[in-house]
Structure 1
């Protein structure tokens, strides 16, 4: 067994007077290049201090989140389990499984991943640098982890292609809600106290992404162009009808040394078969 890494971090967000302190470490056993593979245990603990002028209750140091990862990597297979625990009122009053997948390396340029995983939509897992999650995250297009199968291939050594099918969402876990204790944004069962009682569920999600990396003589310069498309069924459990979710995104990333710019544009449209609000643009 090897002790691999120890990290301490401090980050602050000025306009809210929000500071976060993090501590992380990992342990591993085995060799990732062998057939038997390497098993690695890692994670972090994070605390935060908030000082908001409009709320005296937040001027205190509290536990923020804990994350635990179990990663497996070999010459043929790979896998990952990630679980997170958050605090709102009490320790771990919300926790959820983020990833739980197993993959097979067909060869150096082709692999298949099965299980709960990040969906290949947009330029990557995180588009925005927002401490609370941005708009794209809230509408369920960024950092979305659902259950399915994804095939990835690399063409001409500089073009990554993903094709995934996700029959169901990531599921509900531990928290104070009827169906909303989730890491990702999904359609959920309405709370009995909610004014809107339409029950929607997204199924049969087809997602495709192409990302082409441009080549330059300068090794410090990098750029890529890509696009992705999302098509799925929206099951209206209230009316027993099926609508559609269609979304697309075009993106480009430009980097020079440690500086990087990401440009993203797109559109998503939801036909939820709700007679009161039939279209969600």
Structure 2
């Protein structure tokens, strides 16, 4: 009898071991399959700029903005998140905005690798409008670099630590300047960002009023192609957000310094930054102060569901006394109608490269004779 029982036990064990290969339920099989979602956006722009006589005479211009493809995938604790954008050749052509692979340790902790979002300042946007705030134009808002990032988020705290080997590299030949055809602003020209570390910490508190008080730090090297030496750069920020019903307020204080090891023929007071295929100069050392306010309104006008009115202000104060400040203010509103988002903005700039004036050195030396210029812009896009 004992031998018979052992035989049945052996047969049962064999059947149990072989069961997953032959008799798994359909539900379990589906859980093992990787998942893939494909999203994206198609956007268009109406523009009327105060400094462009032809544009003003025609009553503005209407054209193509960009097309984006956003693949998302997951398998067990692994996931993929990416976005590739197609602009016109005049705005840099096509490039990867971000793309990373992540491992989810638990509901609160994640490790990301690839072209990841740089944890600095108010996350994810230090602004409400389509143009961003002035911090974007010097690489401090919605920036993405190549590296590793650890992210933690719970009920009371959010923090992230990251190491970035470099900004987006596109050639890997050695000795070449960075290409300015990229989404976010990075240092280009004869210097390159390398070996950068970032930390961002946010404390969340409050009851019916939600507060987010945070600080950020950034430290890295600048490799010079001429001297073959590493300089350095760093940035520090204090930032605060408050949410009260449909109101939101943002404020940030940023200090930034670059110390390149340039050759004798180059000034250490300015650097080149580039994005959208168009490089320009920025001051090496500066402070940036930003202040934003917004209010959401629920509506029921046909397909229209929500309107968000806002004002975003930014001031770039350069350390070198001979350099003139750069300022930016955007007032406007965002309209939501299902997957259709429309930004209606009046963006004004003083010594601002993308808002009139002299494109090359507005964010570096600037000009005390500069005038405020403005661009009325309507951007609408369908996000799927």
Shorter-chain TM band: 0.7 to 0.9
- TM-score, with length taken from structure 2: 0.56
Cα drift, residue 51 of structure 1: 3.0
Query: In the TM superposition, what whole-angstrom CA distance separates every residue of 1:74-104 from its partner, at most 9, and x where no partner exists?
Result: 5512211200111265xx8611101111001
Aligned to 2:13: none
Aligned to 2:363: none
Which sits farther off after the overlay, 51-60 or 61-70? 51-60
Q: Which has the higher contact order (CA 8 A, sep 6+)?
A: 2
Asked if 1 retains the 8 angstrom alpha-carbon contact of 2:160 and 2:201, the reply is yes
Contiguous gaps of at least 5 residues in structure 2: 1-26, 172-176, 270-283, 286-384
Aligned pairs for 1:132-151 within 5 A: 132-151=131-150
Q: Rg larger in 1 or in 2?
A: 2
Q: Distance in 1 between matches of 2:110 and 2:47?
A: 43
Aligned to 1:210: 201
The yes-or-no answer on 1:96 pairing with 2:87 is: no
Q: Secondary structure at the match of 1:278?
A: coil
Choose between structure 1 and 2: higher helix proportion. Answer: 2
Q: Distance in 2 between matches of 1:79 and 1:207?
A: 22
Q: 1:263 aligns with which of 245, 251, 273?
A: 251
Give the count of matched residue pairs.
232
Asked if 2 retains the 8 angstrom alpha-carbon contact of 1:41 and 1:69, the reply is yes
Asked if 2 retains the 8 angstrom alpha-carbon contact of 1:214 and 1:223, the reply is yes
Aligned pairs for 1:188-207 within 5 A: 188-189=188-189, 199-207=190-198
Q: Distance in 2 between matches of 1:273 and 1:93?
A: 28
RMSD: 2.5
Aligned to 1:250: 238
Cα drift, residue 60 of structure 1: 3.0
Contiguous gaps of at least 5 residues in structure 1: 1-29, 190-198
Q: Secondary structure at the match of 1:187?
A: strand
- TM-score, with length taken from structure 1: 0.75
Asked if 2 retains the 8 angstrom alpha-carbon contact of 1:246 and 1:269, the reply is yes
Asked if 2 retains the 8 angstrom alpha-carbon contact of 1:84 and 1:96, the reply is yes
Aligned pairs for 1:100-139 within 5 A: 100-139=99-138
Query: In the TM superposition, what whole-angstrom CA distance separates every residue of 1:174-220 from its partner, at most 9, and x where no partner exists?
Result: xxx9721011111123xxxxxxxxx000101100011110031x2xx
Q: Secondary structure at the match of 2:46?
A: strand
Asked if 2 retains the 8 angstrom alpha-carbon contact of 1:49 and 1:60, the reply is yes
Asked if 1 retains the 8 angstrom alpha-carbon contact of 2:92 and 2:180, the reply is no
Q: Distance in 1 between matches of 2:184 and 2:79?
A: 23
Which sits farther off after the overlay, 231-240 or 126-135? 126-135
Asked if 2 retains the 8 angstrom alpha-carbon contact of 1:170 and 1:184, the reply is no
Cα drift, residue 273 of structure 1: 1.6
Residues 186/260 of structure 1: CA separation in 2 closer, same or farther (3 Å cut) = same
Q: Distance in 2 between matches of 1:106 and 1:93?
A: 37
Q: 2:159 aligns with which of 138, 158, 161?
A: 161
Choose between structure 1 and 2: higher strand proportion. Answer: 1
